[in-house]
Chain A
Amino acid sequence: MTDILQIGGRELTSRLFLGTGKFASNKIIPEVVAASGCQVVTVALRRVDLDYAEENIANHIPQSCVLMPNTSGARNAEEAVRIARLARASGCGNWVKIEVISDNRYLLPDNYETIKATEILAAEGFVVLPYMSPDLMAAKRLAEAGAAAVMPLGSPIGSNRGIKTKELVRILIEEIPLPIIVDAGIGRPSEAAEAMEMGAAAALVNTAVATAHDPVAMGRAFGLAVQAGRTAYLSGPGAVRQYAAASSPLTGFLHD
Protein backbone atom coordinates (compact mmCIF):
# COMPACT_ATOMS: atom_id res chain seq x y z
CA MET A 1 0.00 0.00 0.00
CA THR A 2 1.52 3.31 -1.05
CA ASP A 3 1.74 6.11 1.49
CA ILE A 4 0.06 9.11 -0.11
CA LEU A 5 -0.06 12.73 1.01
CA GLN A 6 -3.32 14.37 -0.02
CA ILE A 7 -3.27 18.13 -0.26
CA GLY A 8 -5.41 20.46 -2.32
CA GLY A 9 -6.88 17.70 -4.41
CA ARG A 10 -3.46 16.31 -5.31
CA GLU A 11 -2.13 12.92 -4.32
CA LEU A 12 1.58 13.20 -3.64
CA THR A 13 3.92 10.26 -3.26
CA SER A 14 6.92 12.42 -2.37
CA ARG A 15 6.98 14.20 0.99
CA LEU A 16 9.88 16.44 0.06
CA PHE A 17 8.98 19.92 -1.17
CA LEU A 18 11.77 21.85 -2.83
CA GLY A 19 12.54 25.56 -2.97
CA THR A 20 14.20 26.99 -6.06
CA GLY A 21 16.05 29.95 -4.61
CA LYS A 22 19.83 30.37 -4.34
CA PHE A 23 20.84 27.88 -7.01
CA ALA A 24 24.08 28.90 -8.71
CA SER A 25 22.32 28.12 -11.97
CA ASN A 26 18.63 27.41 -12.53
CA LYS A 27 19.62 24.95 -15.26
CA ILE A 28 20.43 22.39 -12.59
CA ILE A 29 16.93 22.45 -11.13
CA PRO A 30 15.40 19.73 -13.36
CA GLU A 31 18.20 17.35 -12.33
CA VAL A 32 17.67 18.17 -8.67
CA VAL A 33 13.94 17.60 -9.00
CA ALA A 34 14.54 14.25 -10.67
CA ALA A 35 17.17 13.14 -8.14
CA SER A 36 15.05 14.15 -5.15
CA GLY A 37 11.75 12.85 -6.47
CA CYS A 38 9.99 15.97 -5.25
CA GLN A 39 6.61 16.86 -6.70
CA VAL A 40 6.03 20.30 -5.20
CA VAL A 41 8.33 23.19 -6.02
CA THR A 42 8.21 26.75 -4.68
CA VAL A 43 8.96 29.94 -6.59
CA ALA A 44 8.82 33.64 -5.82
CA LEU A 45 7.19 36.50 -7.75
CA ARG A 46 9.21 39.59 -8.61
CA ARG A 47 9.22 42.56 -10.96
CA VAL A 48 10.77 41.59 -14.27
CA ASP A 49 14.14 43.08 -15.06
CA LEU A 50 13.36 45.31 -18.00
CA ASP A 51 16.98 45.60 -19.06
CA TYR A 52 17.92 41.96 -18.99
CA ALA A 53 15.87 39.14 -20.49
CA GLU A 54 16.24 36.27 -18.07
CA GLU A 55 15.06 32.78 -18.89
CA ASN A 56 11.97 32.15 -16.82
CA ILE A 57 12.35 29.76 -13.92
CA ALA A 58 9.16 27.95 -14.89
CA ASN A 59 11.06 26.60 -17.91
CA HIS A 60 13.29 24.67 -15.53
CA ILE A 61 10.49 23.08 -13.54
CA PRO A 62 8.93 19.87 -14.90
CA GLN A 63 5.27 20.23 -15.88
CA SER A 64 4.37 17.32 -13.64
CA CYS A 65 5.39 19.26 -10.53
CA VAL A 66 2.96 21.36 -8.56
CA LEU A 67 4.16 24.95 -8.70
CA MET A 68 3.71 26.71 -5.37
CA PRO A 69 4.40 30.45 -5.52
CA ASN A 70 5.33 32.06 -2.22
CA THR A 71 4.25 35.53 -1.17
CA SER A 72 7.78 36.49 -0.14
CA GLY A 73 8.19 40.24 -0.08
CA ALA A 74 4.83 40.67 1.60
CA ARG A 75 5.00 42.52 4.89
CA ASN A 76 1.31 42.26 5.67
CA ALA A 77 -1.81 40.36 4.65
CA GLU A 78 -2.81 42.87 1.97
CA GLU A 79 0.54 42.51 0.18
CA ALA A 80 0.41 38.73 0.48
CA VAL A 81 -3.06 38.63 -1.05
CA ARG A 82 -1.94 40.88 -3.90
CA ILE A 83 1.06 38.67 -4.67
CA ALA A 84 -1.02 35.49 -4.48
CA ARG A 85 -3.58 36.84 -6.95
CA LEU A 86 -0.85 37.92 -9.36
CA ALA A 87 0.79 34.52 -9.11
CA ARG A 88 -2.45 32.70 -9.80
CA ALA A 89 -3.06 34.93 -12.81
CA SER A 90 0.02 33.40 -14.41
CA GLY A 91 -1.89 30.16 -14.81
CA CYS A 92 0.39 28.15 -12.53
CA GLY A 93 -2.45 26.69 -10.49
CA ASN A 94 -4.06 27.70 -7.23
CA TRP A 95 -1.52 26.64 -4.63
CA VAL A 96 0.11 29.40 -2.60
CA LYS A 97 2.62 29.47 0.24
CA ILE A 98 1.82 32.46 2.41
CA GLU A 99 4.98 34.10 3.62
CA VAL A 100 4.53 37.36 5.50
CA ILE A 101 7.71 38.69 7.06
CA SER A 102 8.76 42.06 8.39
CA ASP A 103 11.61 40.84 10.58
CA ASN A 104 14.75 41.20 8.48
CA ARG A 105 17.21 39.63 10.87
CA TYR A 106 15.58 36.27 11.53
CA LEU A 107 12.94 36.33 8.78
CA LEU A 108 10.41 35.04 11.27
CA PRO A 109 6.89 35.06 9.87
CA ASP A 110 4.07 37.28 11.13
CA ASN A 111 1.47 34.75 12.29
CA TYR A 112 -1.25 37.35 12.73
CA GLU A 113 -1.00 38.75 9.19
CA THR A 114 -0.62 35.20 7.87
CA ILE A 115 -3.94 34.21 9.44
CA LYS A 116 -5.66 37.22 7.85
CA ALA A 117 -4.22 36.41 4.42
CA THR A 118 -5.18 32.73 4.77
CA GLU A 119 -8.81 33.64 5.46
CA ILE A 120 -9.04 35.84 2.38
CA LEU A 121 -7.23 33.52 -0.01
CA ALA A 122 -8.89 30.31 1.16
CA ALA A 123 -12.26 31.98 0.52
CA GLU A 124 -11.07 32.76 -3.03
CA GLY A 125 -10.39 29.11 -3.70
CA PHE A 126 -6.63 29.03 -3.22
CA VAL A 127 -4.95 25.95 -1.76
CA VAL A 128 -3.25 27.80 1.08
CA LEU A 129 -0.09 26.54 2.78
CA PRO A 130 0.88 29.16 5.35
CA TYR A 131 4.46 29.46 6.59
CA MET A 132 4.26 30.20 10.29
CA SER A 133 6.01 30.35 13.62
CA PRO A 134 4.97 27.25 15.55
CA ASP A 135 2.32 28.50 17.95
CA LEU A 136 -0.60 26.19 18.67
CA MET A 137 -3.30 28.87 18.75
CA ALA A 138 -2.05 30.42 15.52
CA ALA A 139 -2.11 26.97 13.91
CA LYS A 140 -5.69 26.45 15.11
CA ARG A 141 -6.71 29.80 13.62
CA LEU A 142 -5.01 28.87 10.34
CA ALA A 143 -6.93 25.61 10.26
CA GLU A 144 -10.18 27.46 10.98
CA ALA A 145 -9.30 29.98 8.27
CA GLY A 146 -9.18 27.20 5.70
CA ALA A 147 -5.49 26.38 5.32
CA ALA A 148 -4.79 23.11 3.48
CA ALA A 149 -1.73 22.46 5.64
CA VAL A 150 0.34 24.31 8.23
CA MET A 151 4.04 24.96 7.69
CA PRO A 152 5.92 25.72 10.91
CA LEU A 153 9.56 26.78 10.72
CA GLY A 154 12.33 24.55 12.05
CA SER A 155 14.79 27.41 12.42
CA PRO A 156 15.41 30.67 10.52
CA ILE A 157 15.31 30.56 6.73
CA GLY A 158 18.70 29.76 5.24
CA SER A 159 20.30 29.11 8.61
CA ASN A 160 20.72 25.32 8.22
CA ARG A 161 20.27 25.09 12.01
CA GLY A 162 17.85 22.20 12.00
CA ILE A 163 14.63 21.76 13.93
CA LYS A 164 15.17 24.08 16.88
CA THR A 165 11.39 24.32 17.34
CA LYS A 166 11.03 20.57 17.83
CA GLU A 167 8.84 20.60 20.94
CA LEU A 168 6.40 23.12 19.48
CA VAL A 169 6.25 21.35 16.12
CA ARG A 170 5.54 18.09 17.92
CA ILE A 171 2.55 19.71 19.62
CA LEU A 172 1.22 20.94 16.29
CA ILE A 173 1.54 17.45 14.81
CA GLU A 174 -0.41 16.07 17.75
CA GLU A 175 -3.14 18.72 17.93
CA ILE A 176 -3.78 20.07 14.43
CA PRO A 177 -5.79 17.86 12.07
CA LEU A 178 -3.95 19.06 8.98
CA PRO A 179 -0.68 18.06 7.31
CA ILE A 180 2.18 19.70 9.23
CA ILE A 181 5.06 20.53 6.89
CA VAL A 182 8.32 21.63 8.47
CA ASP A 183 9.58 24.52 6.38
CA ALA A 184 12.80 26.55 6.90
CA GLY A 185 16.06 25.83 8.58
CA ILE A 186 16.41 22.16 7.71
CA GLY A 187 20.11 21.92 6.97
CA ARG A 188 20.86 18.21 6.64
CA PRO A 189 19.00 15.17 5.36
CA SER A 190 19.11 13.76 8.90
CA GLU A 191 17.07 16.77 10.03
CA ALA A 192 14.48 16.15 7.34
CA ALA A 193 14.34 12.53 8.51
CA GLU A 194 13.92 13.78 12.07
CA ALA A 195 10.92 15.88 11.01
CA MET A 196 9.35 12.87 9.32
CA GLU A 197 10.03 10.57 12.29
CA MET A 198 8.13 13.03 14.47
CA GLY A 199 5.11 12.61 12.23
CA ALA A 200 5.44 15.65 9.97
CA ALA A 201 3.56 15.23 6.72
CA ALA A 202 6.39 16.66 4.63
CA ALA A 203 9.52 18.79 4.72
CA LEU A 204 10.28 21.86 2.62
CA VAL A 205 13.95 22.40 1.90
CA ASN A 206 15.72 25.04 -0.17
CA THR A 207 19.06 26.40 1.08
CA ALA A 208 20.43 23.04 2.19
CA VAL A 209 20.05 21.68 -1.34
CA ALA A 210 20.73 24.77 -3.42
CA THR A 211 23.92 25.74 -1.61
CA ALA A 212 25.37 22.24 -1.29
CA HIS A 213 28.55 21.64 -3.24
CA ASP A 214 26.65 19.08 -5.29
CA PRO A 215 22.97 20.06 -5.23
CA VAL A 216 21.84 17.08 -7.31
CA ALA A 217 23.43 14.60 -4.91
CA MET A 218 22.10 16.53 -1.94
CA GLY A 219 18.65 16.50 -3.51
CA ARG A 220 18.91 12.73 -3.80
CA ALA A 221 20.03 12.50 -0.16
CA PHE A 222 17.07 14.56 1.01
CA GLY A 223 14.66 12.46 -1.02
CA LEU A 224 16.01 9.32 0.61
CA ALA A 225 16.01 10.88 4.07
CA VAL A 226 12.38 11.93 3.85
CA GLN A 227 11.45 8.43 2.73
CA ALA A 228 13.48 6.86 5.53
CA GLY A 229 11.99 9.12 8.17
CA ARG A 230 8.46 8.54 6.97
CA THR A 231 8.93 4.78 6.80
CA ALA A 232 10.37 4.86 10.31
CA TYR A 233 7.39 6.82 11.57
CA LEU A 234 4.96 4.36 9.99
CA SER A 235 6.93 1.41 11.37
CA GLY A 236 6.23 2.40 14.95
CA PRO A 237 9.64 3.08 16.55
CA GLY A 238 10.52 1.32 19.82
CA ALA A 239 10.40 2.95 23.23
CA VAL A 240 13.11 5.28 24.47
CA ARG A 241 14.39 4.08 27.85
CA GLN A 242 16.55 5.55 30.56
CA TYR A 243 18.19 2.26 31.52
CA ALA A 244 19.59 -0.48 29.35
CA ALA A 245 17.50 -3.49 28.27
CA ALA A 246 19.73 -6.31 27.00
CA SER A 247 19.44 -7.30 23.36
CA SER A 248 20.92 -10.79 23.76
CA PRO A 249 19.30 -13.48 26.01
CA LEU A 250 20.00 -13.42 29.73
CA THR A 251 20.10 -17.25 29.94
CA GLY A 252 22.45 -19.98 28.64
CA PHE A 253 25.62 -18.08 29.46
CA LEU A 254 28.91 -19.90 29.19
CA HIS A 255 29.45 -19.34 32.87
CA ASP A 256 27.47 -19.92 36.05
Chain B
Amino acid sequence: MKVLLNGKEIEVADGITIAGLIEQKTLNADTIVVEHNLAIIRKEEWSGVVLSPADKLEIVAFVGGG
Protein backbone atom coordinates (compact mmCIF):
# COMPACT_ATOMS: atom_id res chain seq x y z
CA MET B 1 0.00 0.00 0.00
CA LYS B 2 1.07 3.58 -0.48
CA VAL B 3 1.74 6.03 2.34
CA LEU B 4 3.32 9.49 2.40
CA LEU B 5 6.64 9.68 4.23
CA ASN B 6 8.32 13.06 4.58
CA GLY B 7 6.30 14.32 1.67
CA LYS B 8 7.16 11.45 -0.65
CA GLU B 9 4.90 8.59 -1.61
CA ILE B 10 6.40 5.21 -0.73
CA GLU B 11 5.27 1.63 -0.99
CA VAL B 12 5.01 -0.37 2.25
CA ALA B 13 3.74 -3.78 3.21
CA ASP B 14 0.15 -4.05 4.38
CA GLY B 15 -0.14 -4.22 8.14
CA ILE B 16 3.27 -2.70 8.77
CA THR B 17 3.62 -0.78 12.01
CA ILE B 18 5.55 2.46 12.57
CA ALA B 19 8.17 0.38 14.39
CA GLY B 20 8.44 -1.90 11.41
CA LEU B 21 8.90 1.01 9.02
CA ILE B 22 11.60 2.59 11.20
CA GLU B 23 13.48 -0.68 11.30
CA GLN B 24 13.11 -1.14 7.56
CA LYS B 25 14.53 2.31 6.88
CA THR B 26 17.31 1.69 9.43
CA LEU B 27 16.61 4.91 11.26
CA ASN B 28 18.05 5.79 14.66
CA ALA B 29 15.17 5.40 17.08
CA ASP B 30 16.88 7.55 19.70
CA THR B 31 17.19 10.67 17.61
CA ILE B 32 13.98 10.78 15.60
CA VAL B 33 10.49 12.03 16.35
CA VAL B 34 7.53 10.57 14.51
CA GLU B 35 4.32 12.32 13.52
CA HIS B 36 1.50 10.17 12.15
CA ASN B 37 -1.41 12.00 10.53
CA LEU B 38 -0.42 15.12 12.50
CA ALA B 39 -0.26 13.25 15.82
CA ILE B 40 3.07 12.79 17.60
CA ILE B 41 3.60 9.11 18.33
CA ARG B 42 5.92 8.30 21.25
CA LYS B 43 8.60 5.67 20.78
CA GLU B 44 6.84 3.27 23.16
CA GLU B 45 3.76 3.38 20.95
CA TRP B 46 5.47 2.76 17.59
CA SER B 47 4.91 -0.98 17.55
CA GLY B 48 1.23 -0.46 18.33
CA VAL B 49 0.40 1.82 15.38
CA VAL B 50 -0.48 -0.01 12.17
CA LEU B 51 -0.28 2.07 9.00
CA SER B 52 -3.24 2.54 6.67
CA PRO B 53 -3.22 3.56 2.98
CA ALA B 54 -2.63 7.29 2.41
CA ASP B 55 -1.31 7.80 5.94
CA LYS B 56 0.93 10.85 6.31
CA LEU B 57 4.13 10.34 8.23
CA GLU B 58 6.76 12.86 9.19
CA ILE B 59 10.02 11.61 10.65
CA VAL B 60 12.13 14.47 11.93
CA ALA B 61 15.35 15.05 13.85
CA PHE B 62 17.54 17.91 15.00
CA VAL B 63 20.08 19.49 12.69
CA GLY B 64 22.34 22.49 13.04
CA GLY B 65 20.48 25.77 13.20
CA GLY B 66 20.66 29.26 14.68
Contact = CB atoms under 8 A, between A and B. Distances in A.
Interface stretch (A2-10, A15-23, A188-196, A235-243): A15-23
Given A47-B7, A56-B28, A85-B40, A20 B64 contact: yes
B27 A43 contact: no
A42 interface: yes
Interface residues of A, number: 37
A44 interface: yes
B60 interface: yes
A90 B33 CA distance: 6
A158 B66 CA distance: 9
Contact of B61 (A22, A56, A72): A56
23 contacts: A21-B64, A21-B66, A22-B66, A45-B63, A46-B60, A46-B63, A47-B58, A47-B59, A47-B60, A48-B27, A48-B32, A48-B60, A54-B63, A56-B31, A57-B63, A67-B62, A70-B65, A72-B66, A86-B40, A89-B33, A89-B40, A89-B42, A157-B66
Interface in B10-66: 25-28, 31-33, 35, 38, 40, 42, 58-66
Of B6, B26, B32, B64, most buried by chain A (CB within 10 Å of CB) is B64
B3 interface: no
A199 interface: no
**B interface, how many residues as a size bin?**
20 to 34
Interface string A55-96: 011100000000101101000000000100111011010000
Contacts of B59: 47-48, 50
B33 A86 contact: yes
A206 B60 contact: no
Contacts of A42: 65-66
Given A56-B28, A56-B31, A89-B42, A45 B66 contact: no
Contact of B62 (A69, A82, A157, A207): A69
Contacts of B7: 47
Nearest to A183: B66
The 5 closest A-B CB pairs, nearest first, are A44-B65, A19-B66, A206-B66, A56-B31, A20-B64
B60 A45 contact: yes
